[in-house]
């Protein structure tokens, strides 16, 4: 808390020195509720990058001003705050959005206003494809996170190709995120000539998963593939312990959320999930990011490390596009993003022409995410070869 207050005071003291009009960037995400660990981690990563940019002279001679809004992981609230950011606060671009449903319901507002948005966290496969040419002449929606088609392929590769499981259950929540993630898993299984033995759907805030698990056990399931968020995933892991039935949990990146790991405790051990970033000092860039995070926020632990790293990177990529555009007009920023000339050294990766006119995904395949595993209450590399790859060896 002291570190956060100190950082805020510092920014207030420095701000009057700027004579130029600030560049207003909207930042939205769930800063309260079950998705908050993702939203807060993302927001803190964006803040770190903005502080660094302002400390080095800002962008095109102007300071970055972040205007933050809590969308509460609700579609209606998300639409409201983004409308306000564009119409009232006059933001020139947006960063953030954690929940797939919120993204699908609200990014049309950015699109209609011709204001670029870089999706820092939300992973639904369709997010960047809503406004693609030729149906739409220009697409203002970009993304730096690993989409669910990429993640589903990694999950199924882990379960089927590496570990040889053939009787698979899919457990997913009833949100857009869970429903669409389920379809991506089914697709990846079908490529291998397999189908799920059981598909179980649950709602947000459901706590009793025993009936779902009993059906999976009766079907002889060897592994459970998940698409949900931390609290409900913890209920699955804990219910498995109650039933004295343990099979591997392999799921989307949200199995790395702090509220899954904390609420499941020892029952989280061994869960595996794709991660774009794992909190280890594998490179000097990642070491510096970890140090800055700890010093700024006074915490040794990042609640959701990939969300923080992706938030940080999204701010740097946007800044590079504004520098290239030399302007804050939406169309010019979009064009710069689609033909970015500057190599951006991020935490997740180095962004070397990450987007094009027809491809607004910075991560297109399984070469970037790593397979993480919960060990001793934290996410680490599941495979040593991935740790070596992350360190450039």
The DSSP string of 12-80 is HHHGGG--SPPEEEEEEE--SSTTHHHHHHHHHHHHHHHHHHHHTT-BTTB-EEEEEEE-TT-HHHHHH
Q: In the chain, where are the structural domains located?
A: 23-146+282-362, 149-275+371-391
Burial of 96 by CB count in 10 Å (0-12 exposed, 13-18 middle, 19+ buried)? Answer: buried
Burial of 341 by CB count in 10 Å (0-12 exposed, 13-18 middle, 19+ buried)? Answer: exposed
What pLDDT score was predicted for residue 111? Answer: 98
State the DSSP code for 173: E
Whether 349 has a pLDDT exceeding 90, the answer reads: yes
What pLDDT score was predicted for residue 4? Answer: 43
Residue with the bigger pLDDT between 17 and 213: it is: 213
User: What Å distances lie between residue 29 and 9, 39, 46, 124, 311, CA to CA?
Assistant: 24, 5, 12, 15, 11
pLDDT tens digits for range 116-165: 999 999 999 999 999 999 999 999 999 999 999 999 999 999 999 999 99
Residue with the bigger pLDDT between 27 and 280: it is: 27
User: What Å distances lie between residue 213 and 173, 200, 219, 242, 246, CA to CA?
Assistant: 14, 9, 10, 11, 10
23-146+282-362 shares its CATH topology with 149-275+371-391 = yes
Of 358, 313, 320, 359, the closest CA to residue 336 belongs to 320
pTM of the model as a whole:
0.93
> pLDDT band at 17, cuts 50/70/90?
low
How many C-beta atoms lie closer than 10 Å to residue 157's C-beta? 17
The correct answer on CATH 3.10.310.30 for the domain covering 23-146+282-362 is no
Residue with the bigger pLDDT between 338 and 4: it is: 338
What pLDDT score was predicted for residue 18? Answer: 59
Question: What average pLDDT is seen over the chain?
Answer: 94
Sign of CA dihedral 258, 259, 260, 266: positive
pLDDT tens digits for range 220-263: 999 999 999 999 999 999 999 999 999 999 999 999 999 999 99
| 122 in Cβ contact with 103 (< 8 Å) | yes
Whether 10 has a pLDDT exceeding 60, the answer reads: no
The 93-96 sheet, strands edge to edge? 64-70, 23-29, 93-96, 117-119, 141-143
pLDDT tens digits for range 366-392: 889 999 999 999 999 999 999 999 988
CATH topology for 149-275+371-391 is Rossmann fold (3.40.50)
What pLDDT score was predicted for residue 367? Answer: 87
Whether 166 has a pLDDT exceeding 90, the answer reads: yes
Whether 30 has a pLDDT exceeding 60, the answer reads: yes
Omega cis (within 30) before 134? yes
Residue with the bigger pLDDT between 12 and 202: it is: 202
What pLDDT score was predicted for residue 392? Answer: 80
Mean pLDDT of 318-347: 98
Of 2, 18, 94, 85, the closest CA to residue 53 belongs to 18
How many C-beta atoms lie closer than 10 Å to residue 295's C-beta? 12
Coil, strand, or helix at residue 198? Answer: strand
């Amino acid at each position: 808390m002291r570190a956060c207050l100190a950082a805020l005071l510092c920014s207030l003291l420095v701000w009057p020195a700027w004579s130029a009009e600030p560049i207003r960037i909207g930042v939205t995400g769930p800063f309260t509720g079950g998705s908050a660990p993702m939203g807060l981690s993302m927001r803190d990563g964006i803040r770190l990058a903005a502080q660094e940019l302002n400390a080095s002279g800002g962008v095109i001679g102007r300071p970055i001003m972040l205007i933050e809004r809590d969308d509460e992981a609700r579609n209606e609230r998300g639409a409201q705050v983004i409308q306000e950011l564009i119409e009232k606060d006059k933001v020139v671009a947006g960063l953030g959005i954690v929940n797939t449903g919120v993204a699908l319901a609200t990014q049309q507002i950015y699109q209609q206003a011709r204001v670029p948005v870089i999706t820092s966290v939300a992973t639904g496969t369709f997010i960047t494809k809503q406004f693609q040419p030729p149906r739409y002449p220009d697409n203002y929606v970009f993304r730096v996170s690993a989409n669910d088609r990429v993640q589903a392929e990694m999950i199924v590769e882990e379960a089927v190709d590496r570990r040889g499981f053939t009787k698979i259950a899919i457990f997913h929540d009833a949100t857009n995120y869970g429903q669409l993630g389920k379809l991506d898993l089914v697709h990846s299984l079908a490529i291998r000539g397999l189908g799920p033995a059981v598909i179980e759907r649950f709602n947000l805030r459901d706590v009793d998963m025993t009936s779902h698990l009993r059906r999976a056990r009766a079907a002889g399931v060897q592994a459970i593939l998940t698409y949900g968020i931390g609290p409900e995933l913890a209920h699955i892991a804990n219910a498995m312990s109650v039933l004295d039935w343990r099979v591997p949990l392999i799921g989307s990146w949200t199995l790395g959320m702090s509220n899954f790991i904390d609420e499941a405790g020892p029952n989280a051990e061994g869960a595996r999930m794709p991660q774009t970033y794992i909190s280890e000092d594998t490179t000097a860039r990642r070491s510096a990011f970890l140090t800055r995070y700890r010093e700024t926020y006074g915490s040794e632990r990042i609640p959701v490390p990939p969300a923080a790293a992706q938030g940080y990177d999204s701010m740097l990529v946007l800044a590079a596009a504004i520098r290239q555009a030399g302007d804050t007009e939406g169309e010019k920023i979009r064009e710069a993003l689609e033909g970015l000339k500057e190599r951006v050294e991020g935490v997740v990766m180095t962004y070397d022409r990450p987007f094009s006119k027809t491809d607004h995904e910075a991560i297109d395949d399984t070469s970037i995410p790593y397979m993480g595993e919960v060990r001793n209450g934290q996410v680490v590399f599941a495979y040593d070869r991935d740790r070596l790859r992350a360190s450039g060896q």
